[in-house]
């Protein structure tokens, strides 16, 4: 819940947990805010696993770490980076596995989940879907009024995901609520000659 005690409805403050999935470093960042108002970083970090452990144990470590973040920060929604093809298949597999764990952990809690592509995040945060990491990082610092960019990059990427969802997701939630409140649409056909 946001510091003002409000939740997701009516354009009020929303708390989003951004997750940048990775098998070695899974970035996590919590942001409070709403569209048109300043955003605030609540917490940022990474859930780390050792490459010397079997993959199954690493996934359990990620699951426990994400559960702890959700329990501590009680987000209104979770934003996860959508896995996209890279040249290294082993990197894709680990990222996809960590992403699946993030989705399961959030779904088990009944939290709304959104997946954003890297280009969507870049466009939302910097205004350029092809921005490089340095440009996105500089905007994360500026948007959240931070003294410096959190490290490692996975942590900063998680904050960028959370920012994206606050700006895009909360607007979509308000639209969905307005449609639901309006009730079913009735179509009237008028015959003219």
Catalytic residue selected from 32, 76, 81, 157: 81
Q: How many residues are present in the chain? A: 193
CB 122 within 8 A of CB 140: no
Q: Which helix (H) or strand (E) holds 47?
A: strand 40-48
CB atoms within 10 A of CB 138: 15
- Would you call 20 a catalytic residue per the annotation? yes
Question: Alpha-carbon distance 13 to 35, whole Å?
Answer: 9
Q: Which helix (H) or strand (E) holds 116?
A: strand 113-116
Question: Alpha-carbon distance 33 to 181, whole Å?
Answer: 24
Question: Alpha-carbon distance 178 to 71, whole Å?
Answer: 30
- Would you call 81 a catalytic residue per the annotation? yes
- Would you call 154 a catalytic residue per the annotation? yes
Catalytic residue selected from 32, 76, 120, 154: 154
Could you list the active site residues? 20, 81, 154
């Amino acid at each position: 819940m946001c510091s003002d005690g409000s939740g997701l409805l009516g354009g009020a403050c929303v708390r989003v947990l951004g997750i940048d999935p990775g098998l070695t470093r899974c970035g996590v960042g919590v942001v409070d805010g709403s569209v048109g108002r300043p955003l605030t970083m609540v917490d940022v970090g990474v859930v780390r696993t050792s490459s010397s452990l079997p993959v199954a144990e690493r996934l359990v470590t990620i699951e426990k770490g994400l559960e702890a973040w959700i329990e501590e920060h009680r987000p209104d929604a979770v934003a996860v980076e959508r896995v996209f093809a890279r040249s290294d298949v082993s990197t894709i597999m680990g990222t996809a596995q960590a992403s699946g764990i993030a989705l399961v952990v959030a779904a088990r809690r009944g939290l709304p989940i959104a997946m954003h592509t890297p280009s969507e995040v870049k466009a939302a945060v910097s205004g350029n879907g092809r921005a490089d990491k340095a440009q996105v990082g500089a905007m994360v610092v500026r948007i959240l009024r931070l003294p410096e960019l959190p490290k490692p990059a996975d942590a900063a990427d998680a904050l960028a995901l959370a920012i994206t969802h606050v700006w895009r997701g909360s607007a979509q939630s308000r639209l969905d609520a307005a449609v639901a409140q309006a009730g079913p649409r009735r179509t009237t056909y008028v015959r003219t000659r």
